[in-house]
Amino acid sequence: MPQKTVLAIILNYRTADMTLQAAVATVAEMDGIAGKILIVDNDSRDGSFENLSAAVVAKGWASDRVEVLQSGRNGGFGAGNNVGITHGLATGIDGHLPDYIYIQNSDAFPHDGAIQALMHYLDHNSDVGLAGSYIHGPDGDPHLTAFRFPTMAGEFEGAARLGPVSKLLKHAIVPMPIPETTCTVDWCAGASVLIRREVLEQIGLFDEAFFLYFEETDLCLRAARAGWKTAYVRESCVTHIGSVSTGMKTWDRIPGFWLESRLHYFTVNHGRLYALGATLAHLTGGAIASVRAKLRGKSTGQPKYFLIDMAKHALKTGTRGQLRKSRKIAFPKAKKALAGAE
């Protein structure tokens, strides 16, 4: 049986030094694995592309092993990864299409055997299409990276954060308790995930209507609807710093792209009315949390004016009839590339 091949993609946006550190870890992990690493600069315009290209040469990495690409535009996480996937499919690995696509954040560092563990699981579980890693921070604290799909009930529970509500809706809580053993989940974080090429052939690439957030959730849902499972592989361990490119930990106000991505996820997957219902559920739950926090003299922990911004966004988008129902998956280009590579 021929060895399976891996196309690894690391997306950079103005974090060249950290991206290079991530690439060093991935090069080490790919030792003994047939494949290629693509570093995609997502139009950083800060010298990242030039610096990364020079660093690859300086480290003596062969061009057929590590390559730096320029996306040409910053279309977000999904669009940037699509650039890498499409290029990798078009050029192939040793004249053949890659068996697996490995998506890795620029602030994620796979440990010994992390990629091999994901490959091993997919090799031995033919009904699983995506496999994500156990992820922890630099301090060793585990990150929440195993999830249930968002629902209207989950939106209410997650916003309300009230004991009796959480107990009643426990099966709708989006973040799952961190699994202690390998198991199937609804979706996993995109910081370190291995995807079968066949999954992307069947469902398409990342939906580029998402700029940031919800794109991996959407991909896993589309895969699930096509009959593919997603697994959380506890044996695959990755250190992840988190929010380095996005600045999420320091948001003062919720950015419009997060609101857009959230609403697009519900609209394109569940319909316009469900999307509005999910937003109403979130606002209701959030109002409960706000009242409770005010009575206790505490903060909700949400960005400033979060509920107001969400309500305004939903009202503005809904009244103008601009809820996006179309997909931008960029699959026609990839499909053409596939035909030429095999």
The number of helices, as runs of H, and strands, as runs of E, in the chain is 12, 11
How many Cβ atoms sit within 10 Å of the Cβ of residue 32? Answer: 7
pLDDT in tens, 263-291: 999 999 999 999 999 999 999 999 999 99
What is each CA distance from 13 to 78, 139, 179, in whole angstroms?
A: 13, 24, 31
Q: How far is CA 282 from CA 141, 146, 232, in A?
A: 28, 21, 27
Range in 225-229, 269-273, 313-317 the model is least confident about:
313-317
- Computed over every residue of the chain, the mean pLDDT equals 91
CATH annotation of 5-242+326-341: 3.90.550.60
| pLDDT tens sequence across 104-158 | 999 999 999 999 999 999 999 999 999 999 999 999 999 999 999 999 999 999 9
d(CA 32, CA 224): 31
How far apart CA 56 and CA 53 sit, in angstroms, is: 5
Q: How far apart are CA 304 and CA 98, in angstroms?
A: 45
pLDDT-derived band at 324 (thresholds 50, 70, 90) equals low
Q: Is the pLDDT of residue 332 over 60?
A: no
By the 8 A CB rule, do 43 and 69 touch?
Answer: no
Tokens of 76: 């977000």
pLDDT for residue 243: 60
Containing 100, the helix (H) or strand (E) segment is strand 100-104
Determine the average pLDDT of the residues in 206-233.
96
Using DSSP, state whether 108 is helix, strand or coil: strand
Angle between helices 272-296 and 152-160 (to 10 degrees): 10
pLDDT of residue 1: 59
Please tell me the pTM assigned to this model: 0.92
In this structure, are strands 187-188 and 66-70 parallel, antiparallel, or unpaired?
unpaired
Look at residue 321 in the predicted model and tell me its pLDDT: 45
> For residue 120, what are the CA distances in angstroms to 3, 93, 173, 181?
11, 19, 30, 15
Q: Using alpha carbons only, how large is the chain's radius of gyration in Å?
A: 20
- The pLDDT confidence band at residue 327, using thresholds 50, 70 and 90, is low
Q: Work out the pLDDT band at 67, boundaries 50, 70, 90.
A: very high
User: Would you say residue 245 has pLDDT above 70?
Assistant: no
Return the pLDDT at 266.
95
Of 275, 277, 274, residue with least CA distance to 262: 275
- Calculate mean pLDDT across residues 84-100: 93
- The encoded tokens of residue 245 equal 């490119």
Query: How far from chain centre, in Å, is Cα 206?
Result: 9
Which residue matches tokens 């809820």?
Answer: 323
* Owner of token pair 């505490």: 298
> In this structure, which amino acid lies at residue 58?
A
Per-domain boundaries in the chain: 5-242+326-341, 250-319
Q: How far is CA 196 from CA 73, 97, 100, 180, in A?
A: 26, 11, 5, 24
Residue 330's pLDDT band (boundaries 50, 70, 90)? low
Helical H runs in the chain? Answer: 16-29, 48-58, 77-91, 114-123, 152-160, 163-168, 197-203, 215-225, 256-270, 272-296, 306-319, 331-341
